[in-house]
Structure 1
Amino acid sequence: MLNSNSDKQKSPQRRFLFILGAALFVVVIIFGLMIMFWDKLPLDLSKTQRYTFGGLFIIYGILRFIRVIRPNTANE
């Protein structure tokens, strides 16, 4: 008689939102890396500003992904 949350199947809406969140995580991480390392990107920023701005994008992507994978028990 195991009634844990992991035994429940996700609804199609939750599955779609998880896939969308994972795809957004990948896009934001790639965009942050592009800002940091792609020199032909038309941004008038110094190297330090590029690394800072790209790093902020990467941190934002990680925080969003943590919110996606963390179970939200308030809605269940």
Structure 2
Amino acid sequence: MPRYEYRCRPCDATFEVSRPMTESSAPAVCPAGHEDTVKLLSTVAVGGSAESAAPSSASGGGGCCGGGCCG
């Protein structure tokens, strides 16, 4: 079940709520009972490493001339 992160405006607490995706836009009450909360934009972790995502300088990729547009 997905976890959604919220911030409470009155007490500035951050908390998470597990709920089905069909209820992702439903309001959430903070643990202190405040109803004035806002859903935060969560970042998503994707498998792999930064090294595997970055082009290698030996591959010739990246940059204008490395990509072959300087004909």
Tell me the TM-score range normalised by the shorter chain. Answer: under 0.3
Structure with more strand by fraction:
2
Question: What's the TM-score once normalised by structure 1's chain length?
Answer: 0.23
Higher relative contact order (CA 8 A, sep 6+): 1
Q: Which has the higher helix share?
A: 1
Give the number of the structure whose alpha-carbon radius of gyration is greater: 2
Q: What's the TM-score, normalizing by structure 2?
A: 0.23
